[in-house]
Amino acid sequence: MFPLMGHGHGHGASGGAKHVGRLWIAFAVGAAFMVVEFAVGIATSSLALVSDAAHMLTDVVGVGMALAAIMAARRASTGRGRTFGLYRAEVLAALANAVLLFGVAAYVVYEAVGRFDDPPAVPGLPVVLAAAAGLVANVVAFLVLKDGAKESINVRGAYLEVLADLVGSVGVLVSGAVTLVFGWRYADPLMGVAIGLWVLPRTWKLAAGALRILFQHAPERLDVAEMQSDLATLPGVEEAHDLHVWTLTSGMEVASAHLTTCQDADPAEVLESARELLARRYHIEHATLQVEPGDSARKCREIPW
């Protein structure tokens, strides 16, 4: 008797695919206002405004990478060896976003600290007007991406960059107002440091989430030991082993396991009950399960890895 293999099916689009339209809106709005902030920031020598424009550049690049990754995953064929398509492209884009944003935030802090010795005079009014325009752009992008960030790590990467830049725009607006009213030159570099320090820990969290998926760790929400115990207590099952659970991309969690059965167990019934358990209790609809009699299970345990 050969071991019986079965699959739970629940295929669909990756978590970010349905948010392409929203990403395009965020991309267009961000690109337009980024040019405005760069032009005014360079003309006024405002580090805070140039830094905010650089953050907005990472928004534009990040959203662009998110769009490219989703389009690649959407068009990918499972042929030619790509048995899972290109869904991991979304996770790689999220990680690239995190690295890019981390570098920009670190540069902002470094450059701002260097200005404390001799802060330049920055005209407040142009900075305030440009920061206000940037704030409007970021609010629009923030609202557009908010819902998608809950479903896709890729959209979440773009959303976090927009959120960071939104806070940055508020900060630049405040520093510009202080400079305009009081003429205090330290407002600009101080705000640069504050923006950088606010962004860095959020960037780390995004990178950690992407790396967890790439290293194929089990989803944080799942208790793998409990799942294995539940599978082992199904009717007709003597033991569950070689259980693996991982995330392919946002909204696509998969599992595989070997189920050792009693001699009189019906393999088809065991498969069905295991698939139902994983879908109902653990919300995993794609599972590859191998049902095997007790004698063949010993060979599985001989595999060293």
Same domain (yes/no): 109, 34: yes
Decide: 240 and 231 in contact? Cβ < 8 Å. Answer: yes
Same domain (yes/no): 179, 233: no
Dig out the tokens for 204 from the structure: 């780390």
CATH of the domain at 246: 3.30.70.1350
CATH of the domain at 148: 1.20.1510.10
Q: Is the full-model pTM beyond 0.85?
A: no
26 in any annotated domain: yes
Same domain (yes/no): 170, 295: no
* Final residue before a domain boundary, out of 162, 195, 214: 214
Same domain (yes/no): 262, 146: no
d(CA 257, CA 65): 35
Q: Which pLDDT does position 197 carry in this prediction?
A: 79
Q: What number of CA atoms fall less than 13 Å from residue 244's CA on the CB side?
A: 11
- Strand order of the β-sheet with 252-261 is 4-7, 286-293, 252-261, 237-249
187 in any annotated domain: yes
* Final residue before a domain boundary, out of 214, 229, 254: 214
Residue 258's domain comprises 218-301
pLDDT tens, N- to C-terminus, the chain (305 residues): 334 445 544 444 444 556 678 788 888 888 888 888 888 888 887 877 777 777 777 678 777 777 776 776 666 555 566 667 677 877 887 788 788 878 877 877 887 787 787 777 778 788 888 888 888 888 888 888 887 777 777 677 777 777 777 877 888 888 888 888 888 888 878 887 787 777 778 788 888 888 999 999 999 899 999 999 999 999 999 999 999 999 987 778 999 999 999 988 899 999 999 999 999 999 998 999 999 886 665 566 556 66
Question: Running DSSP on this structure, what letter comes out for residue 157?
Answer: H
Same domain (yes/no): 253, 188: no
224 in any annotated domain: yes
Same domain (yes/no): 28, 92: yes
Q: What is the DSSP string of 290-304?
A: EEEEHHHHHHHHT--
What is the number of residues in the chain? Answer: 305
Same domain (yes/no): 54, 174: yes
10 in any annotated domain: no
2 in any annotated domain: no
227 in any annotated domain: yes
Residue closest to 130 by CA, chosen among 37, 46, 66, 252: 37
1 in any annotated domain: no
6 in any annotated domain: no
Span 193-223, pLDDT tens digits: 787 777 778 788 888 888 999 999 999 899 9
Q: Which residues are 239's β-sheet partners?
A: 260
* Final residue before a domain boundary, out of 214, 230, 246: 214
Ranges of H-type helices in the chain? 20-44, 47-75, 88-114, 124-145, 153-182, 187-214, 224-232, 267-282, 294-301
Residue closest to 267 by CA, chosen among 236, 231, 299: 236
Domain count, the chain: 2
Question: Left (φ > 0), alpha (ψ -120 to 50) or beta: where does 283 sit?
Answer: left
